[in-house]
Amino acid sequence: MAMMENAPIGPGNAQVMNRFELTRRLVAQLPADAAVIGGIGNTNFDLWMAGRRPQNFYMLGSMGLACPIAFGVALAQPQRRVVALEGDGSLLMQLGALATIAAQKPKNLAIVVMDNASYQITGGQATATAAGTDLVTMARGAGIARSAWAADEAMFDALAAQALAEDGPWFIAARIDDKPGVGTTERDPVIITDRFMRGLGTKG
């Protein structure tokens, strides 16, 4: 039993948390100029509801692009902290991004994955994580050494603080419940892009 108590945190013993609560906690810690890329669906709905910021980009339409977009922003603006917020289903659709990020090692990039083991927004179909795929083990295998499961909210806060202050790339995964996003992002890609470019200082 003693060995069990010391077991590393994994999807089997991490607490099931709530996406909006964790998103709120993350946003509360952000440096003012940090960019956040929300993946399609619930991830960006909760980011939107956690407080609109011109440095937030809300992905619409295609799964798997939060990490590649955040990676591009991190390379283009190395002085800025950049966070990718992604769902497990979307991350699984674009796993190659982890290897590319690991190879390029952007120090200013953190990936946060909300793992509800399902494609929730399209009806709750099970993803591979429901069958045991461990996203942190995959990220570490891709070469992202600073990869961890958040055991609970306090550990999520601590990991987020570390990822926003210390060299990355970082990969943080959290098990979350099946509560839907708490709102809906305004769906206007032109406005979203324009606001983001101004927020990043690339458009006057």
Ligand X SMILES: Cc1ncc(C[n+]2csc(CCOP(=O)(O)OP(=O)(O)O)c2C)c(N)n1
Q: Which residues bind ligand X (CB under 6 A)?
A: 39-43, 61-63, 87-90, 116, 118-122, 127
Residue 122 Cβ vs ligand X, minimum distance, rounded to whole Å: 4
**In terms of CB distance, is 23 or 108 closer to ligand X?**
23
Cα 40 from Cα 20, distance rounded (Å): 15
Residue, CB closest to ligand X: 87
The C-alpha angle 32, 18, 179, rounded to 5 degrees, equals: 120
Residue 176 Cβ vs ligand X, minimum distance, rounded to whole Å: 8
**In terms of CB distance, is 38 or 168 closer to ligand X?**
38
User: What is the rounded radius of gyration, in angstroms, for the C-alpha atoms of the chain?
Assistant: 16
Strands (E), 11-124: 35-38, 56-58, 82-87, 109-115, 118-119
Residue 70 Cβ vs ligand X, minimum distance, rounded to whole Å: 15
**In terms of CB distance, is 115 or 142 closer to ligand X?**
115
**In terms of CB distance, is 128 or 155 closer to ligand X?**
128
User: Is 178:39 a contact under the CB 8 Å cutoff?
Assistant: no
Helix and strand counts by DSSP (H, E) for the chain: 9, 8
SS3 content of the chain, % helix, strand, coil (to 5): 45, 20, 40
Residue 121 Cβ vs ligand X, minimum distance, rounded to whole Å: 3
**In terms of CB distance, is 55 or 127 closer to ligand X?**
127
Which are the contacts of 25, defined by CB distance < 8 A and separation ≥ 6? 153, 156, 157, 160
- The residue type at 36: V
- Tokens 């699984």 belong to 92
- Whether residue 169 is preceded by a cis peptide bond, meaning omega within 30 degrees of 0, is yes
**In terms of CB distance, is 180 or 199 closer to ligand X?**
180
